[in-house]
Amino acid sequence: MLAAILSLSGLDLTADEASLFRDAGPAGYILFARNIQDRGQLKALTDSLRDLHDRDDLPILIDQEGGRVARMRPPEWQAFPANEAFDRLYRFAPASAIQAARWNARAIALTLAEVGITVDCLPMLDVRQPGASDIVGDRALGSEPMQVAALGRAQLEGLASAGVVGVIKHIPGHGRALVDSHLELPIVDAGEEDLVIDLEPFERLADAPMGMTSHILYRAWDATLPASQSPTVINSIIRQRIGFGGFLMSDDIGMEALSGDVGTRAAACVAAGCDAALHCSGKLDEMIRVAEAVPAMTAEGDARLTRAMATRFTGGEGMTLAEAIDTRDQLLALA
């Protein structure tokens, strides 16, 4: 299995993509708006990926947070609120906010499971900081670590209740970034005392099945390399200090926070300790370079991925989509 998660160019799996994917055997796939038209098309696409590898537990990822980060949108699908809505409610009624976050996540998961998507890149555990880049903004669950962890735990549970695996992101914390890592490399100068705040939600949810790193340089830990490519950050901070034992992927290697070509970027993430490099552009020539540059996944990474995907079968009976949305809305109205 290749230590990479790849994407697709359009609404259907092309012959060239199928040939590459069959030969390379990536760890999974991630979908974007360019891959999505309606329920029938999307289900056919995810079925084609599973059939290609003959894997019922194939990781098929999406960023379906709610708010401005949603690949599946109206009118075909329900709109979901940004995380800021749960942050506001938590200030007045913490228990109600936790329930609202859980039922919202279940509703998201039910819409994903219907079309064959097995992994959602949620929850976002970045602690919001004043003056930071708006790339976090209303996507954050709050500015207090325990609150972020509590709401994030509810989201993980809500996703799992409908058979979808959650991904905690962006380890070890994106909340202090002053610039958008899609455009340039953020550099965080905060010291150890302040960074304790950023780490706390990830420490509290260290048992999550999957995680995603950040392309941020933290001078306190590694003055040269961004977290996704830093053996020090991945091994000493993420694996040891935070105690995260789940499957670890990089953030999108196409983001301009990283330097070099896509193959170099992907290889550096894997060499540093990421189980897989995440490549999101869907450009065939780039995916070929990634496939040539990264090794097979380690036995440890393979085991972590297997454990993570096994958690999606633990969900039991629960609220329907309509019931979950109605309950969420009644709770959010309290704010």
- Residues involved in catalysis: 182, 251
Both structure tokens of 116: 């064959």
DSSP per position, 111-124: HHHHTT--EE---B
Q: Distance of alpha carbon 68 from its chain centroid, rounded?
A: 15
Query: What is the 3-state composition of the chain as percent helix, strand, coil, each rounded to the nearest 5?
Result: 45, 15, 40
Tokens 């359009």 sit on residue: 10
User: SS3 of 70, please?
Assistant: strand
Distant-in-sequence contacts of 315-321, Cβ < 8 A, 24+ apart? 315/160, 315/161, 315/162, 315/163, 316/161, 318/106, 318/161, 318/162, 319/103, 319/106, 320/110, 321/78, 321/107, 321/110, 321/111
How far is Cα 160 from Cα 315, in angstroms, rounded to an integer?
A: 6
Establish how many alpha carbons lie within 13 A of residue 135's alpha carbon, considering only the half-sphere containing its beta carbon.
Answer: 21
How far is Cα 332 from Cα 140, in angstroms, rounded to an integer?
A: 16
Tokens 């070099």 sit on residue: 260
How far is Cα 99 from Cα 90, in angstroms, rounded to an integer?
A: 10
